[in-house]
Amino acid sequence: MSELREYHSKLLSEDNILALEQADVTTVDALLYQDATRLHDKTKLPVDLIQRIQRDLQKYFCATPVLASDHYQSQLRAPLLPTRCCLDLLLGGGLATGELTELVGPTSCGKTQMAMFTSLQLAKHHGISVLYIDTSSAFSADRVVEMHKYQLVAECQEGFEPVDTDQSILAILDRIKWHNCYDPMKLIEILENTHIALESKSSEFYDRLKLIVVDSVGTLLSSTLGGKSTHGHFVMMRIARLLKSIADHHQIAVLVTNNTVGADDQNGQNKSGHKPGLGESWAAVSNHQLMLDCEFNDDENIERSIMLEKSTRYRTNQRCLFTIDPYGIH
């Protein structure tokens, strides 16, 4: 049984732990098995706080059974967020809320460009909030502004009524909250705070939050893995659980990017010579995994492609070509 003191949470503060221990509640099991009202009588802690602590613990220590039919129907009802690029062709119309989509590829293949383009499209056309967690200082507000301006030009050429560029882009940027993050523990802190803010509905931003981007999870976690220590693996899976929990509980689409590493091709199946980073444990985390690649042609033009490698919903091994230009992604 896990001791309460071994579980670190914003909700489970030292004062709350002391109050629970005085009521002879010292383990996670003891806290989860008891009714919130009875615990309130013993500890004088607010009932809603106790219930929030119990729900938080259940995500990590309990398997909550659901009917397969109910799960299937909920998956069918999950709304899609159209990205207006090649992702829509491969993912049935857009990013699925409640699920985690992973963009994998070597350096300079277009992962960050696609993440920024997607953030812009969803904030612009759907009015939703985007939490963008940047682990390598790759996010560029100037690039988002450039894409927006070129898209306005294209819309005017198609006959749409022009809008005030400066006013519209400021409103869009207000919907994108950017975090610089270089430490895995900092990422855990950001995700935990996000979960609390979503639970409490602390602001209009979190009421509208429907997309979380982590660019790049591979860059952030690769240095913590390897060797005999298991701490890095624990941290990685803690981040994975938080992302999956937030996505499922609040019906938010999660988009993460990951780098690639060299792969042995002993069976002749891996023609690209590389595979997703972070190992087999992380490979089971995403609902949809897309592999990006780029090649130089003889005339030095770059041919970029994206393929759906893994999916819990859609037919895999579908491939699309795309380009990156001032407009964004075509």
Tens digit of pLDDT per residue, the chain (330 long)? Answer: 567 777 766 778 888 888 888 998 888 888 887 888 888 989 999 988 888 888 888 776 666 666 777 666 666 666 899 999 999 999 999 999 999 999 999 988 999 999 999 999 999 999 999 999 999 999 999 999 999 999 988 888 877 666 666 668 899 999 999 999 999 999 999 999 999 999 888 799 999 999 999 999 988 988 788 766 678 888 899 999 999 999 998 999 999 999 998 766 555 555 557 788 888 889 889 999 999 998 877 666 788 999 999 998 899 999 999 999 999 998
- CATH 3.40.50.300 assigned to domain 79-329? The reply is yes
CB 53 within 8 A of CB 12: yes
The whole-number pLDDT of residue 293 equals: 92
Q: Give this prediction's pTM.
A: 0.76
The whole-number pLDDT of residue 261 equals: 85
C-alpha 250: how far from chain center: 12
CB 88 within 8 A of CB 94: yes
| Element at 192 (helix H, strand E) | helix 184-200
Q: What's the rounded Cα separation, in Å, for the pair 238 and 212?
A: 17
CB 101 within 8 A of CB 255: yes
